[in-house]
Amino acid sequence: MNSVIFSIILIPIIEIYLFIKIGSQIGAFYTISLIFITAIVGVFYARYEGLNTIKSGISQIIKNELPAYEIISGAAIAFAALMLMMPGFVTDTIGFLLIFPITRKILLKKFSKNVKPKRNNENFIDGEFEDIENDNDKKL
């Protein structure tokens, strides 16, 4: 929880610092224009990648397979679109890294190695059963 609070505080500070630095180099108008252009291009590309992910997921379902990667990829694309709509250069960089399929696949593999499913065998009871039919069960 501390990392979430830390990032909520740190990201705007970094964004403001970059706005000031880049704005002093290229000017305020070009900085604001760059932010709008990255947001517009990013959202359109996120829509394109999202539709491709949906098509891939449907083809997996038609093959009678679970579209697990497509579900995770769709969530990553939605998060990337959110990052691209937020004004700033750090959030745009994160958004573009998640939008492009090559970098998205690399990042998802990196994070999926860190997440291991927890299996609690204490909640399972191993046993056998036999289905017995009684005449009392067959009431009409």
3-state secondary structure string across 95-133? HHHHHCHHHHHHHHHHHHHHCCCCCCHHHCCCCCCCCCC
pTM over 0.85: no
* pLDDT tens-place string over residues 61-91: 999 988 888 899 999 999 999 999 888 999 9
Please give the single-letter amino acid code of residue 48: Y
**pLDDT for residue 134 is more than 80:** no
Residue 75's closest CA among 67, 63, 66? 67
Record the tokens describing residue 30, joined without a space: 């070009």
Q: Is the dihedral of CA 94, 90, 11, 46 positive or negative?
A: negative
pLDDT of residue 17: 94
Q: Is 127 domain-assigned?
A: no
Q: Is residue 123 part of a domain?
A: no
- The total domain count for the chain is 1
pLDDT given at position 117: 60
- Res 52: pLDDT: 92
Find the domain containing 77 and state its range. Answer: 2-113
4-57 pLDDT, tens digit each: 888 888 988 999 999 999 999 999 899 999 999 998 998 899 899 999 999 999
Q: For tokens 């497509």, name the residue.
A: 70
Q: CA-CA distance, 44 to 29, in Å (whole number)? A: 23
Residue 56, both tokens: 């891939």
90: in domain: yes
Q: Is residue 39 part of a domain?
A: yes
Q: Which of 90-99, 101-110, 127-136 has the lowest mean pLDDT?
A: 127-136
- The pLDDT of residue 27 is 92
> What confidence category does residue 130 fall into, taking pLDDT thresholds of 50, 70 and 90?
confident
Residue 112: predicted pLDDT: 76
What one-character DSSP code corresponds to residue 1? -
* Residue whose structure tokens are 């704005």: 23
Q: Is residue 139 part of a domain?
A: no
* Tokens linked to 112: 């999926």
